């Protein structure tokens, strides 16, 4: 990661922490609407990789605030596909947080005289969850890379694939996170619901599974079996 | 928790030309074969094809030129193998030697071993098999009991390996055996390059549920191999094997080996597919695209000299599930009958039957998930 992106992420973490109690105002005041605006136009000149990194943090720290909408508003671009793309990054961050909370919980909570994480059944569940979280993170990163390489008018395949993959991970990730937490994870007080409820909401926002599966499926069908491979390899490496 | 940062897949050289040249070469040299052979194609042995592929410079690509290799970057090799798999080329004969035995010999082998084996591997003429599993050591690999005893004339190997894919078609086995008497678990193990024509070795077939002969039992009855057959450091076999398995688990074969079925589904669906079929194609495409990103990132991490043990396990777990579920999900939405003669039906039947092995070979699903859990900081 670049130094500029590290600094951006540090700023985002501090601002989103404040926003968690103060609302969207600190995000607006910090100028996040300028993130994607070119430097020549007085903006930050950030790329989609930067946006992905910032929104992953927002997905952890400020999942209930319209951070993605605010940043995209700076572009003056209201394309539904871009909102879907931004949502994938939020989902990737929220899933990382659900996994981190789950790992911490099972390493701390003791039952039958040992931490839950010592039980193979729990280990196997968390491994399944981790695979989904890694997949969504990879999808978000590759989608951002395509947006940077080709611009948002030619990233339709990647946005569709990434949103669909992220949607499909939501059920597994939220179910396992709650299962390994037991009753404490079902309380309003405990932090898990702060990411799992947004994940449930985001699955249906800006295109649910059926929406993107239909679009992507018809696009791939029009390519033909060999055409799919040729298209995949032509679009990335 | 270990750092899972994504690594950019950025191979040197002209990758477009590499793909274009290989596709043109395959158009001429890939045998027509049966469509079913194109699925699970890294189990399809075709020695003529392997020799031609080696002669064209597509095997042993990352080995140094002084051993007959191509001096190419590991990510250039990655591009070549994903093209071969996507085309369903019969790469089974040289697959193991090219993927793991060659690189392991280069890393740990003696100069004599490198000169003896690597040029043949790179020509696509010398094939290898993996001697790990034993009757009492499957998922529990550290329970290996086959022994090698040092004598004046060389090492005497006794014991049995099982589930050895391609032993009957291979020239050499890279075997993990116990060299230190009284040692237990993962201590006291060493690796040997065992020429399979050595007296005292017996290979017997095991026919799998698809009716194929891939597996074998290999018996060692006081088989004498030279002192120079020891690979790397005596007693360090476990460490070497672990590195070898990293090569085995992360490659594109973990999500591309059934690509022929997906392609057949897409072709059968036509340009205006039934909504349920379109949805399934969309889901499979999204999963395949994501797996490709994960696999490429893992390959890039490996190429950067890092150890992607956990990432490789994530690729294997997700890739196995993708490939294992694919025929089941396709069967649920298409009208193909079990005995139908069309490509889609035949591929579907073949992969439904083959797919239970996907989450067994190269480490069972349960073992792989255990490795991932350890990477998460559990245990």
Q: Which of residues 100-139 of A touch B (CB under 8 A)?
A: 100, 103, 106-107, 117-118, 120, 122-124, 126-128, 130-131, 134-135, 137-139
Contact A221 B270 (CB under 8 A): yes
Contact B378 A209 (CB under 8 A): no
Contact A160 B293 (CB under 8 A): no
B366 neighbourhood in chain A, CB within 8 Å: 124
Percent of chain B with pLDDT over 70: 99
Min Cα distance A217 → chain B (Å) is: 4
Q: Which of residues 35-94 of A touch B (CB under 8 A)?
A: none
Query: Which pLDDT score is estimated for B4?
Result: 66
- CATH: 1.10.390.10, 3.40.190.10, 1.10.287.130, 2.40.110.10. Which one for B130-236? 2.40.110.10
Q: In the structure encoding, which two tokens stand for residue B143, read together?
A: 């329970």
Contact A213 B280 (CB under 8 A): yes
User: What backbone torsions phi and psi does residue B194 show, to the nearest 5 degrees?
Assistant: -110, 115
Residue to substitute from A221, A222, A233, interface B, most B β-carbons within 10 A: A221
Contact A165 B378 (CB under 8 A): no
pLDDT over 70 at B2, yes or no:
no
pLDDT interval class at B1 (50, 70, 90)? very low
Q: CB of B177 within 8 A of CB of B157?
A: yes
Contact A214 B283 (CB under 8 A): no
Task: Give the C-alpha separation, A205 to A220, whole Å.
Answer: 23
Query: Which pLDDT score is estimated for B246?
Result: 74
Query: Which pLDDT score is estimated for B3?
Result: 56
pLDDT interval class at B6 (50, 70, 90)? confident
Angle subtended by helix axes B365-375 and B309-333, to nearest 10:
130
Min Cα distance B201 → chain A (Å) is: 39
**Range name among A60-74, B94-108, B238-252 with the lowest pLDDT average:** B238-252
Please state the rounded mean pLDDT for residues A15-27: 95
Min Cα distance B270 → chain A (Å) is: 6
Q: What is the pLDDT of residues A195-230, one digit of tens each?
A: 999 999 999 999 999 999 999 999 999 999 999 999
A176 neighbourhood in chain B, CB within 8 Å: none
Contact B290 A160 (CB under 8 A): no
pLDDT interval class at A153 (50, 70, 90)? confident
Helix (H, G, I), strand (E, B) or coil at A20: helix
Query: Which pLDDT score is estimated for B242?
Result: 86
A212 neighbourhood in chain B, CB within 8 Å: 282, 286
Kindly give, in sequence order, each residue whose CB lies less than 8 Å from that of residue A112, ignoring residues fewer than 6 positions away.
none
Helix (H, G, I), strand (E, B) or coil at B28: helix
Query: Which pLDDT score is estimated for B74?
Result: 95
Q: What is the ipTM of this complex?
A: 0.97
User: What backbone torsions phi and psi does residue B192 show, to the nearest 5 degrees?
Assistant: -130, 145
Contact B264 A237 (CB under 8 A): no
Query: Which pLDDT score is estimated for B123?
Result: 98
Please state the rounded mean pLDDT for residues B265-284: 97
pLDDT over 90 at B114, yes or no:
yes
User: What backbone torsions phi and psi does residue A98 show, to the nearest 5 degrees?
Assistant: -60, -40
Q: Does A212 touch chain B (CB under 8 A)?
A: yes
Fold for the domain defined by A80-237:
Butyryl-CoA Dehydrogenase, subunit A; domain 3 (1.20.140)
| Class in CATH terms, B15-126 | mainly alpha
Q: What is the pLDDT of residues B120-134, one digit of tens each?
A: 999 999 999 999 999
C-alpha dist (Å) from residue B300 to B79, B206, B318, B352: 12, 37, 18, 32
Contact B370 A120 (CB under 8 A): yes
Task: Give the C-alpha separation, B7 to A113, whole Å.
Answer: 40
Task: Give the C-alpha separation, B167 to A107, whole Å.
Answer: 44
Select from A135, A138, A217 the Cβ nearest to the Cβ of B279.
A217
Q: Which of residues 166-195 of A touch B (CB under 8 A)?
A: 168
For chains A and B, what is the number of CB pairs under 8 angstroms? 171
Which among B35, B33, B34 is positioned nearest to B344, based on CA atoms?
A: B35
Query: Which pLDDT score is estimated for B42?
Result: 87
pLDDT over 90 at A32, yes or no:
yes
The CATH homologous superfamily to which domain B250-375 belongs is Butyryl-CoA Dehydrogenase, subunit A, domain 3 (1.20.140.10)
Q: In the structure encoding, which two tokens stand for residue A222, read together?
A: 């029009």
Please state the rounded mean pLDDT for residues B249-272: 93
Query: Which pLDDT score is estimated for B59?
Result: 98
Percent of chain B with pLDDT over 90: 91
């Amino acid at each position: 990661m670049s130094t500029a992106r590290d600094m951006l992420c540090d700023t985002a973490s501090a601002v989103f922490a404040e926003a968690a109690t103060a609302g969207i105002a600190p995000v607006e005041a910090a100028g996040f609407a300028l993130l994607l605006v070119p430097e020549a136009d007085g903006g930050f000149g950030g790329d989609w990789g930067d946006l992905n990194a910032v929104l992953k943090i927002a997905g952890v720290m400020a999942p209930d605030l319209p951070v993605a909408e605010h940043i995209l508003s700076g572009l003056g671009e209201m394309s539904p596909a871009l909102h879907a793309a931004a949502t994938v990054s939020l989902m990737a961050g929220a899933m990382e947080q659900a996994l981190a909370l789950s790992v911490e919980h099972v390493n701390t909570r003791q039952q039958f005289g040992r931490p839950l994480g010592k039980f193979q059944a729990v280990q196997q569940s968390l491994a399944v969850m981790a695979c989904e979280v890694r997949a969504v993170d990879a999808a978000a990163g590759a989608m951002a890379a395509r947006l940077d390489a080709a611009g948002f008018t030619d990233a339709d395949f990647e946005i569709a694939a990434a949103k669909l993959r992220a949607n499909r991970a939501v059920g597994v990730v939220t179910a396992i996170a709650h299962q390994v937490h037991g009753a404490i994870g079902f309380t309003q007080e405990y932090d898990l619901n702060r990411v799992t409820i947004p994940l449930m909401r985001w699955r249906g926002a800006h295109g649910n599974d059926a929406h993107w599966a239909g679009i992507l499926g018809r696009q791939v069908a029009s390519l033909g079996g060999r055409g799919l491979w040729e298209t995949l390899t032509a679009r990335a490496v | 928790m270990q750092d899972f940062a994504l690594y950019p897949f950025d191979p040197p050289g002209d990758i477009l030309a590499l793909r274009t040249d290989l596709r043109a070469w395959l158009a001429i040299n890939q045998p027509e074969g049966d469509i079913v052979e194109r699925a699970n194609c890294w189990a399809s042995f075709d020695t003529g094809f392997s020799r031609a592929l080696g002669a064209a410079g597509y095997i042993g690509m990352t080995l140094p030129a002084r051993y007959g290799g191509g001096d190419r970057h590991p990510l250039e090799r990655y591009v070549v193998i994903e093209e071969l798999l996507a085309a369903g080329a019969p790469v089974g004969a040289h697959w193991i030697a090219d993927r793991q035995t060659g690189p392991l010999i280069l890393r740990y082998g003696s100069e004599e071993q490198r000169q003896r084996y690597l040029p043949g591997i790179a020509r696509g003429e010398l094939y290898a098999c993996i001697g790990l599993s034993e009757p009492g050591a499957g998922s529990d690999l550290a329970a290996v009991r086959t022994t090698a005893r040092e004598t004046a004339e060389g090492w005497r190997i006794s014991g049995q390996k099982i589930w050895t894919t391609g032993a009957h078609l291979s020239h050499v086995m890279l075997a993990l055996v116990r060299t230190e008497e009284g040692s237990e678990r993962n201590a006291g193990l060493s690796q040997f390059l065992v020429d399979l024509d050595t007296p005292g070795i017996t290979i017997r077939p095991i026919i799998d549920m698809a009716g194929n002969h891939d597996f074998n039992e290999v018996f060692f009855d006081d088989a004498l191999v030279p002192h120079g057959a020891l690979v790397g450091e005596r007693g360090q076999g476990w460490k070497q094997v672990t590195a070898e398995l990293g090569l085995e688990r992360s490659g594109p074969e973990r999500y591309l080996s059934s690509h022929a079925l997906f392609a057949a589904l897409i072709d059968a669906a036509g340009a205006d597919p039934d909504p349920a079929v379109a949805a399934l194609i969309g889901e499979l495409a999204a999963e395949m695209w994501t797996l490709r990103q994960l696999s490429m990132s893992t390959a890039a991490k490996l190429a950067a000299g890092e150890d992607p043990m956990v990432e490789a396990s994530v690729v294997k777990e997700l890739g196995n599930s993708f490939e294992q579920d694919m025929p089941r999900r396709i069967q649920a939405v298409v009208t193909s009958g079990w005995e139908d003669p069309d490509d889609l039906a035949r591929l579907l039947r073949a992969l439904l039957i083959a797919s239970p092995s996907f989450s067994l070979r190269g480490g069972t699903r349960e073992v792989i998930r255990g490795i991932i859990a350890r990477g998460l900081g559990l245990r």
